[in-house]
Amino acid sequence: MNLDKQTYKKYAEAHAPRSPIGRNCFNAFCIGGLICAIGQGLNDIYHLVFGFSKDDAGLLAAVSLVFVAIFLTAIGVFDEIAKVAGAGTLVPITGFANAVVSPAIDSKSEGWVLGVGVKIFTVAGPVLLYGILSGTIYGVIYYFMSMI
């Protein structure tokens, strides 16, 4: 079958299964909310039970979420959760931890330097680059505007 790009695009769109948008949004909302509730619960436990200051409790909660996300990624569970939750697993810290660790795990067989070292930031690298760049540009603009 010899089709041009436009005809193939129409054919593919007509035969592609429809995504259950409502269910996907519900799953993302519930699982993302559950991750946030777990983070808040950890924060409260560290603050109220163990007596850490609010700042330290927040830091420990964030570190705990990162550790759990890395552990679940390493044993292959995070990807299964992400299949159901979709964007709900992109809750800031857990999604970023998964984005950093996944390429590192996949490239471990290539060695620590040329595998893990080179590929660890392939997914998260652009986020870091443009986040730092835009923050720097904003900071410079803010600095000069405050001088006026």
> Residue 17: which region, alpha, beta or left (left: phi > 0; alpha: psi -120 to 50)?
beta
Helix or strand or coil: residue 4? coil
pTM here? Answer: 0.72
64: part of which helix (H) or strand (E)?
helix 54-74
* Confidence tier at 95 by pLDDT (50, 70, 90): confident
pLDDT at 7 > cutoff 90: no
